[in-house]
Amino acid sequence: MTSLSPTPPGDPQAALTIGVLRETAAGENRVALDPDVAAEFLRDGRRVLIESGAGERAGWADADYSAAGATVAPRADVLDRLDVLAAVRRPHDEVTSALREGQGLVGMLDPFQNLDLLDGLCRRGVTVAAFELLPRTLSRSQSMDALSSQSAAAGYRAAIVAAEAFGGFFPMMITAAGTARPARILVIGAGVAGLQALSTARRLGAVVTGYDVRPASRGEVESVGASFATSSVAEGAGSGGYARAMTADELAAQQQELSQLITRFDVVITTAKVPGRRPPVLVPQETLESMARGSVCVDLASGPFGGNVHGSVDGRRIVTPNGVTVIGSSDLAMTIPTAASRMFAKNVHALIAALTHDGTFEPDLDDELQRTVVVCHDHEIVSAAIRKAMGLDESLEARPEEVRS
């Protein structure tokens, strides 16, 4: 392990330095860079500093990073020398408080729930980019789309977790003891996580159905070999890659239809997250009580605001009085850290490359993608969405000094 002397961020004589620390969030096993992408940064002319032990829980030893050309160093040295900190999740306060003017932070930062943190980083001159703000409808953002890559990992894992929790076989089994019918799986939400859950469950041999309020999702669901079900309620298409929130009347009508459908299935996987808000309850208590004993619900929307399934608790497995297993998990991707980290690292590389110009981490705010994904730069909150959440004028030009005081 090498001890390093501090170099001022942005020093023109030094290569842009990407720093990675060991993740400290509870249960988090991923790492922001794997050795392969670390080597890719080095081929780009960047420098990579890795905290000792940062990759252990994802399957990589310090020696793997050293072999790729990265420098393994103590935590304090990485923080001193980095130009851009790549993080999977919002770093601990002791890390964010150590970031200073000219440095950058890139990660899944849950920005709308951390406005005070972002305001403090902005005032100190830290450039921050949050994957949650990426304009997902732009085709050129696909390589940077960490939400999609991690949702794909979570959807895959949801099918595996459901198969483990279900007391029967997923495929049809013909044995000397007789024939077992295949499990019937319903996946609610045909986004990235839902489609991956459908395709994985089908590969395991189950009979799969995908449900979505957007009739246009039929083609995607059927392309993975699943049947499609939708609501008779008005189309629920939204913007930015998410289904829109329904009105109370629409939700009530949809819920009645959906409850009748749910009770016909052995396994239900729900994926209807609403960023920064309470997700819709798609499997209410009365529906849960109507499900057959031994049924399984995996709730990928479970979190601090609740979940899609009544009574689900993030990180817990609960068995209801009528014998239905409810598994809550807001982020199953972290339970397959090697695969999820590989994908996340590629997203990190693509985003940092887009935000780097002439060897400096300097976003071009005239570019729509960069202007949208960057929260703050040069002491300014530049994201219109975050400015609105903070109660600021959405136009930068209107009050250019409002976050500087």
Is 142 labeled as catalytic in the residue annotation?
A: yes
Is 124 labeled as catalytic in the residue annotation?
A: no
Neighbours of 95 (CB within 10 A): 17
Is 242 labeled as catalytic in the residue annotation?
A: yes
From 22, 242, 259, 378, the catalytic residue: 242
Is 103 labeled as catalytic in the residue annotation?
A: no
Find out whether 14 and 47 touch, Cβ atoms under 8 Å: yes
Angle between helices 337-355 and 35-43 (to 10 degrees): 20
| Torsion of Cα atoms, 211 then 340 then 303 then 137, to 10° | -60
Is 65 labeled as catalytic in the residue annotation?
A: no
Reduce the DSSP state of residue 188 to 3 states and report it: strand
CA distance 49 to 243: 39
From 11, 93, 140, 142, the catalytic residue: 142
Query: In angstroms, what CA-CA distances link 352 with 40, 150, 152, 170?
Result: 12, 18, 22, 42
CA distance 18 to 39: 12
Query: In angstroms, what CA-CA distances link 35 with 20, 50, 157, 170?
Result: 11, 10, 23, 36
From 83, 145, 212, 266, the catalytic residue: 145
CA distance 380 to 264: 53
* Of 111, 167, 117, 181, nearest in space to 388 by CA: 111
From 148, 196, 231, 312, the catalytic residue: 148
φ/ψ of residue 195, rounded to 5: -65, -40
| Torsion of Cα atoms, 73 then 74 then 80 then 83, to 10° | 50
From 46, 47, 57, 136, the catalytic residue: 136
CA distance 280 to 245: 9
* Of 55, 323, 364, 399, nearest in space to 166 by CA: 323
Could you tell me which residues come within 8 angstroms of residue 291 by beta carbon, excluding any fewer than 6 positions away? Answer: 262, 263, 268, 297, 322, 324
Query: Hey, which residues are catalytic here?
Result: 136, 142, 145, 148, 242
